């Protein structure tokens, strides 16, 4: 692992949360940009859905974007494992969203997976579930 790979993965993790927060206000474009568009990407959200392949994963993000939840979520306590062209980040997701105008705290644990594609770290998997 090179220092530039670790820095690149850290930037990719932060980019995902920037995209997530943009999605909360109805902007899907940043989410499109951070994900790999490959058929092997996966998304397992905190409400139990399991999506496979970019078309299905994107459909889930579009559904969530349409909800315009507002609020924001930030990663905390990020732990990285960076290898040759593949990386895993484990972290907490802490913040608030506002479904139907009600303040809903977010306390999740997440695993985010990235692959280096054409010199850029792209998300290939996101798994989040509620903290016990």
Burial of 4 (0-12, 13-18, 19+ CB in 10 A): exposed
Q: What is the reported pTM? A: 0.94
Q: Name the CATH topology of 3-130.
A: Nuclear Transport Factor 2; Chain: A, (3.10.450)
pLDDT digits (tens, 9 = 90+) for 46-99: 888 999 999 999 999 999 999 999 999 999 999 999 999 999 999 999 999 999
Per-domain residue ranges of the chain: 3-130
Residue 132 to residues 41, 47, 105, 117, Cα–Cα distance (Å): 27, 14, 14, 35
**Each residue's pLDDT tens digit, 28-56:** 999 999 999 999 999 999 888 999 999 99
Task: Count CB atoms within 10 A of the CB of residue 89.
Answer: 22
* First and final C-alpha spacing in the chain: 33
Residue 85: φ, ψ to 5°: 80, 5
Contact criterion met (CB below 8 Å) for 76 and 66 = no
């Amino acid at each position: 692992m090179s220092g530039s790979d670790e820095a690149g993965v850290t930037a990719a993790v932060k980019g995902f949360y920037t995209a997530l927060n943009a999605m909360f206000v109805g902007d899907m474009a940043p989410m499109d940009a951070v994900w790999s568009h490959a058929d092997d990407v996966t998304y397992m959200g905190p409400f139990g859905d399991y999506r496979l392949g970019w078309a299905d994963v994107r459909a889930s993000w579009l559904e969530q974007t349409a909800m315009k939840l507002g609020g924001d979520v930030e990663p905390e306590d990020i732990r990285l494992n960076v290898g040759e062209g593949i990386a895993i980040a484990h972290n907490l997701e802490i913040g608030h969203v506002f479904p139907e105008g009600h303040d809903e705290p977010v306390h999740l644990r997440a695993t985010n997976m990235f692959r280096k594609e054409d010199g850029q770290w792209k998300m290939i998997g996101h798994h989040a579930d509620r903290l016990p």
